[in-house]
Structure 1
């Protein structure tokens, strides 16, 4: 450990592993064009051989519970693709976490429902990628998955869990956004809203998807975000809605110059939040694996304690440091690495996105018009 590293660690607030993510697998039964993590099917046998066993997940769950983790996300890939999912779920659940489950809802079998009924998640995040078989074929490569998802969601709604609908919009389902929301309200109830991924990043950690070829152009991304936001305003204010009074404003944030020095990565990753990967590595977040410690070799406590020493000193992007829009930017270490291959790279896609938002703020957004973007 260098003197500089030692000094930075001394200045850093205490790290507490309160929020964890268990990535049971990176395998999935769908082939979504924009997936961050999915590997090619030819790698599945090798991945299966290295995936943690149910006993290993149980052991790790006990360790993180003792270390102070209270909130836990179970995700993948698609976690239900594992033949031992029910066994893993029961073992982890019994440790007493507040558990969230992320799933595409296409593999909700009777055995899965029996397990989840006995051990219900506190929250379930369900992804919907379209409102038709055709869109599911275009986005996920599987027509039948549309009806499997609808049937699976109906089953999951029988649980006492809070259900959150999530989606990622790319060129192939851009035309389906309103239809997805209408489908949710018609099929499952008007109380449910749809959460959309704001920035679609390039694939990370060996993922095989060619995201750059299918994601929206920044202009379309912003149009969509503003249109959905305005629709929500219309619903809230009803007859008092007046488009001429719409404007975009920015609240000044606190100076961020010391953020990187007061945390590992400028966020909660590795400070209060962490991910344990499908093969037992401790990661700061699910998007980053170019530095890690080994939970299987060291145990969780030691892996957590040693983790800061595995984190390289991050160099700031000079161009970003001087940018007037840096507080509006959706950039982080993970997005920089995914988009540019460098932790100090300047991602052109996100720069374009941020510039559009900055323009709307500068112009006030009075009399909002999608065509002005």
Structure 2
């Protein structure tokens, strides 16, 4: 098993350590040196052993480069980051969920393996595995291990209810993600179980968090603040502090991926935080999203045009940048808007809000600015 990953990344080169977020920037000549040494039996060069010891406190000397470092090839396609819904099914039933109808369907084990090879060939270095609930998928452990073996840096998004599983813990410790983000929906069993519409959910997630902390997983909490649990916001922060887990709060609920409004009712207007101005993103160009069936889109929101990677292979991604550019155009309900430069949401997300007939002040500047467009 490799200790380090050396890889092209956008227009540069990096050395990374699986399970750690910190990296080392490399000059191209150093990357070429490692690549040329990989098949020669040469030991890890002194400059890298010193850097690895300084950055991560590990000793990779006197091991051969081929044993210690996974060398990523220069990608033909420059999609360095991706998110993957390994499934849409979930063991909870939260009202705020943007997925809407959560169906248990998707690729079989062989299909998931093939998809990960396609993502590797696309250049994906940073992979977020999400759901639904990722950890309930029967192929999660094998998929996480394969992504690790292919030289990907993995983040896992989960509700935390399965973190007590010995199989899951073994997978997350041996094929260590650089981050495991757990969503938190309350600070008491009464609120949590009601929010998730599952009896015993709070007990399972608190036990899961304790198991994750004990296993030394790189946990982070996503505190989901809604009308139903906002009264426990301070207590949710206190839980995070007591466990020693960093956290980030989320107050804006999105329409479902089908443009449904049912998820918006859970939003707490009194707790909405101001969003930063949207200034563009790299979706579809250096980032992509893949659903459980292997269909690629520019992101989790902009799914109007998808590429079937299982039918087309990595070559299909040559069209994704143009698709993203079309979806990002301010058309439809935003055509001719004089405030478009102040928007806090992208055009695909605004379209979802419009389809859901959401109140204008949840995604648009008109109400704040008093301008009719």
- TM-score, normalised relative to structure 1: 0.70
The DSSP-based 3-state class of the residue aligned with 1:106 is: coil
Give 2:83's match in structure 1, choosing from 21, 27, 30: 21
- Structure 2: 5+ residue stretches without partners: 1-75
CA distance in 2, matches of 1:282, 1:139: 31
Does the CA-based 8 Å contact 1:73-1:100 persist in structure 2? yes
Give 1:216's match in structure 2, choosing from 251, 268, 275: 268
Residue 96 (1) aligns with residue 151 (2): yes
Residue 303 (1) aligns with residue 316 (2): yes
CA distance in 2, matches of 1:27, 1:194: 25
Number of the residue aligned with 1:294: 308
CA distance in 1, matches of 2:166, 2:365: 44
Does the CA-based 8 Å contact 2:251-2:267 persist in structure 1? no
1:151 positional shift: 0.9
> Measured at CA, do residues 169 and 126 of structure 1 come closer, stay the same or move farther in structure 2, by a change above 3 Å?
same
Q: Structure 1 residues 119-128 or 312-321, which shifts more?
A: 312-321
Moved over 6 A (4+): none
Residue 170 (1) aligns with residue 231 (2): no
CA distance in 2, matches of 1:181, 1:154: 16
CA distance in 1, matches of 2:152, 2:108: 19
Does the CA-based 8 Å contact 1:331-1:350 persist in structure 2? no
Normalized per residue, which structure has more helix? 1
Which has the higher relative contact order, 1 or 2, with Cα contacts under 8 A spaced 6 or more apart? Answer: 1
Residue 335 (1) aligns with residue 352 (2): no
Residue 350 (1) aligns with residue 362 (2): yes
Number of the residue aligned with 1:64: 119
CA distance in 1, matches of 2:217, 2:338: 43
Give 1:115's match in structure 2, choosing from 167, 171, 175: 171
Residue 37 (1) aligns with residue 103 (2): no
CA distance in 1, matches of 2:158, 2:359: 30
Does the CA-based 8 Å contact 1:126-1:165 persist in structure 2? yes
Deviations 1:88-115 (A, max 9, x none): 2222221111110000110121111122
CA distance in 2, matches of 1:27, 1:346: 26
- TM-score, normalised relative to structure 2: 0.70
The DSSP-based 3-state class of the residue aligned with 1:299 is: helix
- Structure 1: 5+ residue stretches without partners: 1-13, 227-249, 260-265, 360-373
1:212 positional shift: 2.5
Deviations 1:331-369 (A, max 9, x none): 112321221129xx996132567855x79xxxxxxxxxx
Q: Say what the alpha-carbon RMSD is for the aligned residues.
A: 3.0
Normalized per residue, which structure has more strand? 2
For 1:303-322, what aligned pairs fall within 5 Å after superposition?
Answer: 303-308=316-321, 310=323, 312=326, 314-316=329-331, 322=337
Number of the residue aligned with 1:10: none
Number of the residue aligned with 1:203: 256
Deviations 1:43-65 (A, max 9, x none): x4xx43xx112222222222222
CA distance in 1, matches of 2:240, 2:323: 44
The DSSP-based 3-state class of the residue aligned with 1:157 is: helix
Q: Structure 1 residues 84-93 or 286-295, which shifts more?
A: 84-93
